Amino acid sequence: MNALLIHGGPDAATGRTPTLPHRIGTNPPGAVTGSVGRPSGRQAVLAVLARAADDQKFLARMADNSSAALQEYDLTSEQRAALSGGDQGLIESWVGKLDARLCTWLWCRLAQEKW
């Protein structure tokens, strides 16, 4: 489950990469969860990045109003600011090196040129 969430590999049975809502039903052993069983901390940051890569509507919501789009995630104010601002260095300091798929939102954010 961890590899699928982090790297977005295909489902062995179908050969398709499932969308994020189908993958976050359970948390990996040892994951920190926040309110209502939602992932928090590192797992929440990775969930946001994975969803932005897989869900075009969520990506558009992030681009339009990232604060509103992130409300459904259990994130600290520092995590929200880093995700909203596209701070790849800070995000990678929490979660490790991001692959190209997980950088989708960060690249979109940088392309917006909202400074």
DSSP 26-69: SPPTT--B-GGG-BBTHHHHHHHHHHHHH-HHHHHHHHHHHHHH
Q: Is the pLDDT of residue 25 over 80?
A: no
Residue of higher predicted confidence among 24 and 59: 59
- Which region among 7-16, 18-27, 44-53, 60-69 has the lowest average model confidence (pLDDT)? 18-27
Mean pLDDT of the chain: 77
pTM: 0.66
Q: Is the pLDDT of residue 24 over 70?
A: no
